[in-house]
Amino acid sequence: MAPALLPSPPHPKPPLLHHNPSPARLHTRCAASRRDFTIHTAVAGAAASASAAMSRVVAAAAEEAPHLLAPSPTPPSLNGGAAPFLGGIANTRSWSQYYGSGFSIRVPPSFDDILEPEDFNAAMTYYGDKAKVRAYAARFASPDRSELVSVVIKPSNQLKITFLEAKDITELGTIKEASKLFVPGGAKIYSARTIKVKDQDDIRTYYFYEFRFDKQHVALMTTVDSGKTYIAAATAPETRWEADGVKLRSAAISMSLA
């Protein structure tokens, strides 16, 4: 089965002037609800085998603070050998917080909302016509459009054939097994981690992957709830990652379910 996402930058657009997203879609909060992150398992390494075609860029935005991430002892990587700790994370509490359908994510400063009106209304249908499949649940870009933060929501049974409603990301397999669904074949994997997030009374499992594919660097966070897979990905050219990687990684990790 083809991976769920892959980097493919959009056609360049001029910077949007006086961009005012609709209040129903974008809100600003300086104090996000606190969540206690405990990294349960960690895995990373070089290239993971996967199926051929890659679907489309998915990149996503920002959230909590660096001290919330406590690295666990280094486990073996996906292909054996030692795995490095997760890279730096920024404090994103002052960033704008976007509320989507069942999720929220924090948006890096100066990033523009580039979700097109037709994408925003794609789920609507009239007079019995078949609704158009919505490509993105959220999408933001840097002023020069070279860096993207996006969220995609997919039915879990599209990623793994099952007659049951998936309620946890582990039902798609271990973090190594699931890498075939989220990381394209031939990609160089820098990090793959299982992250446990305490939300109120529940502990939700997320998978985090960071990899390079076709000159693009990608940080991807994904989880499952009620039969839906939520995928937040932040992408940039590999040459930009040293300067902006902490910001983009923080955006992807900031995704949480509402």
In contact, 13 and 145? CB cutoff 8 Å: yes
The string of DSSP letters for 158-186 reads HHS--SS---SGGGG--HHHHHHHHS-TT
Q: Kindly state the tokens that stand for 66.
A: 């660096």
Q: CA 67: distance to chain centroid?
A: 20
Give the model confidence (pLDDT) of 50-62 as tens digits.
Answer: 333 333 333 333 3
CA gyration radius for the chain? 17
The average pLDDT across 74-80 equals 41
Query: What's the pLDDT score for residue 160?
Result: 87
Q: Are 110 and 143 in contact (CB under 8 A)?
A: yes
Decide: 248 and 236 in contact? Cβ < 8 Å: yes
Is the Cα dihedral 42, 249, 117, 26 positive or negative?
Answer: positive
Mean pLDDT (whole number) for 6-12: 49
**What is the Cα–Cα distance from 183 to 186, expressed in whole angstroms?**
9
Is the predicted pLDDT of residue 75 greater than 50, yes or no?
A: no
The pLDDT tens digits for 124-144 are 555 555 556 678 999 999 999
Task: Report all structural domains of the chain as residue ranges with CATH numbers, in order of start.
Answer: 50-64+87-185+209-257 (3.40.1000.10)
61 Rama sector, left if φ>0, alpha if ψ -120 to 50, beta otherwise: beta
